[in-house]
Amino acid sequence: MNHLASRLSAALLLGFALLLGPAARVQAGSSFLRCEALPMLLERLHEVHLEYKKPTKELDARVVDLYLDYLDPARSLLLESEADAIGKRLSKAVGQVRKGDCSELDALQAERLSWHKAMEAYVATTLSKKKFEIDSSVELEVDPDDRVRPATVADRDELRRELVHVQLAGYIARGMDLDEAKRRLLHRYELLDRRVAEVEPADVYGIYLDTVARALDPHSTYFSADALEDFRIGMELSLEGIGAVLTQDDGFTVVREVVTGGAADRQGQLEAGDKIVAVSQGPAEEDVDVVDMALRDVVRQIRGKKGTPVTLSVMRGTKSVESLQFTIVRDAINLEDQAASIRYETRTTDAGDLKLAVIELPGFYGSDGPKARNADQDVRDLLIQARDEGADGVLLDLSRNGGGLLSHAVTISGLFLGTGPVVGVAGQGPDETYTDDDPSVTWSGPMAVLTSRGSASASEILAGALKDHGRAVLVGDEHTFGKGSVQNVVGLPAGFGALKVTIARFYRPNGQSTQNEGVPVDVVVRSPIDLPDVGESSLEYPLPSGRIAPLTGGVPNPEGAGHWTPVTAAQVTELKAASAVRVASNEAMKELAEQLDQAVNARAVVKVSELLASESEPQAAAQVEGLDPLDDKDKDDTPSIQAVEALNVLADLVRLQRSGT
């Protein structure tokens, strides 16, 4: 692998959120950042970026919208008219900052403190009223983007009233009485005021620089000096904690992924999408509110020594919201649980019983050293085992695979192909094609690949290569995640941190980029995350897809040893038809389809009545058996309904290829 390949492998890893790793956005601590440095840093950001080499009116408008969201994330501080006026001030400030003038940013930060103090005063006045009672009829949309910014003072007071009642109900659902809940809520707003007051000018400039980066695309970011150090720490697999990927959205710390093999995965209750609202160091300890807390500080609350407990209070739900609380014992990530694994299933067909191997690959992992585990070698060994065991077909399960090392995605593709192109990279610098140069084929029998909207980055490269070469039939959600961009970390002068900037796109062998659109499957079998708001296209300002000339060269399907039977269009048509009949008669699949259809138009609403009711109910997550999108196996190794149907499709493919149809 050449130097560029190594750089891109690292860049793929940098595209992930990390295992309770750094704050995804700038945090306090960038003490060396000065306003006069911003023009140079902004110019550098554009210079390196794949698409936007210079500022545009559209980008400036994005910056204004994003920075306004930073100033008033819950839309509870500013009236519509006030927000419009500040938007006009920000429009002028965008140009001023490029000239080294941050006076408007400084002024807005000072005003921001006054807005928060006004909010605190409202809460204090409300809670001090005699005969105060929680209004159980209150319902509040969780996502501020779904709320209309208040037009009048009365509208704003009503929104604030709803927030207060929802927040109090959340405390009561966690076991507090009303007096304690009121005390804790007021203290929360006092702490928020204090954090706003402690924001230094350097932090303001870092937040602004990150805002500009986010306006370019979802994966470009500014890291302050401290956040960069956390980023490096997070790259170490030895990190001890709960094993979760966290991000922030509208003041909430959100679980983006529960990492296979981590403590949370083994505990079994934390789920992707959960909003963490409080953290305590065990069931008997006082919890700490983390709403509106910087992600860096939330991470510090959750991280800890192996063997120590941490209790999380979370909000969960889409159409309605429930309050949950559970304790996780911190531990190091179990690499054995994170590694590729194999199991065998049997299907009975007209041609007799078929033995099918299921290889589950959660990620493209790798390390150096005498005890190193590497995904490509592990998958090779499992394929040899499947061949020796007389398997009739292989299902490669990438449905939980969020990516990893590019080099391993290329090498694993080569286990199923002769030689030829796997992925192209085009953007900054000369275009590159990554090829499989090993003519041997480890598995030449029939194969299917199970994907989902959670299959991202390197897993999309592997799935796309196998699809385009006709090597496998793809089964799963309509398409994969669509993370088809490459990021590079650009070092800045000492104390300034770093920029993570999108520099290129990935392209499948057929010339189509995986960016934004993902890789379409051949046979659609929906999972619980097959929703419009899951995937690259649902993120703010995603880069569009693209196309280059098809990649050519090599001999993907060798003659003689290693020759495999291509998947044809006629076979795909027949496989789709047979699967549709099975799915239509599967009660669990029909129930899932109904849930997905309802969720498409549903807004996340938290109801005070439900939070109060949950106080007397078991604090456990209700799950539909077999429908957990991030757990393909229950504790008894029962495969998910998606994996079951993917195996049925594979069995059909084996039959068709044996019959020559």
Distances 393 to 176, 386, 411, 447, 526 between C-alpha atoms, Å: 56, 9, 20, 5, 22
pLDDT of residue 316: 80
pLDDT of residue 164: 95
**Pair 324, 372 in one domain:** no
Is residue 163 a part of any domain in this protein?
A: yes
**Pair 275, 342 in one domain:** no
**Pair 280, 427 in one domain:** no
pLDDT of residue 265: 83
Of 304, 332, 360, which residue constitutes the final position of a domain?
332
pLDDT of residue 318: 57
Q: How far apart are CA 505 and CA 547, in angstroms?
A: 10
Tell me the Ramachandran region of residue 443: left when phi exceeds 0, alpha when psi lies from -120 to 50, beta otherwise. beta
Is residue 231 a part of any domain in this protein?
A: no
**Pair 300, 346 in one domain:** no
pLDDT of residue 344: 97
pLDDT of residue 290: 84
**Pair 447, 413 in one domain:** yes
Q: How far apart are CA 515 and CA 534, in angstroms?
A: 14
Is residue 498 a part of any domain in this protein?
A: no
Of 534, 563, 592, which residue constitutes the final position of a domain?
563
Domain with residue 274: its CATH number is: 2.30.42.10
Is residue 656 a part of any domain in this protein?
A: no
Q: What is the pTM of this model?
A: 0.82
Closest CA to 279 of 323, 326, 311, 325: 311
**Pair 293, 427 in one domain:** no
In this structure, are residues 170 and 277 in contact, taking their beta carbons and an 8 Å threshold? Answer: yes
Count of all residues that appear for the chain in the document: 661
Number of domains the chain contains: 3
Alpha helices in 49-149 (DSSP H): 57-71, 80-97, 103-127
**Pair 39, 171 in one domain:** yes
**Pair 392, 315 in one domain:** no
Block mean pLDDT (10 aa), the chain, length 661:
33 27 35 88 96 97 96 95 98 97 97 97 95 92 87 97 93 88 92 91 94 97 77 46 75 77 84 86 77 77 86 75 82 71 93 94 80 88 98 97 90 98 90 95 98 95 98 98 93 86 97 97 95 91 96 96 97 98 96 88 79 53 27 54 97 94 79
Bridge partners (DSSP) listed for residue 354: 347
Is residue 478 a part of any domain in this protein?
A: yes
**Pair 535, 390 in one domain:** yes
Range of the domain at 174: 24-223
**Pair 460, 539 in one domain:** yes
Is residue 533 a part of any domain in this protein?
A: yes
- Beta strand 309-316 with 139-141 is unpaired
In this structure, are residues 482 and 515 in contact, taking their beta carbons and an 8 Å threshold? Answer: yes
pLDDT of residue 237: 35
Of 297, 316, 332, which residue constitutes the final position of a domain?
332
Is residue 576 a part of any domain in this protein?
A: no
Bridge partners (DSSP) listed for residue 202: none
Per DSSP, the three-state class of 66 is helix
Domain with residue 511: its CATH number is: 3.90.226.10
**Pair 163, 208 in one domain:** yes
Closest CA to 115 of 180, 155, 71, 159: 71
Is residue 273 a part of any domain in this protein?
A: yes
In this structure, are residues 27 and 210 in contact, taking their beta carbons and an 8 Å threshold? Answer: no
Sorted by sequence, the CB contacts under 8 Å of residue 341 that are 6+ apart come out as: 359, 360, 382
pLDDT of residue 411: 97
**Pair 121, 216 in one domain:** yes
pLDDT of residue 296: 72
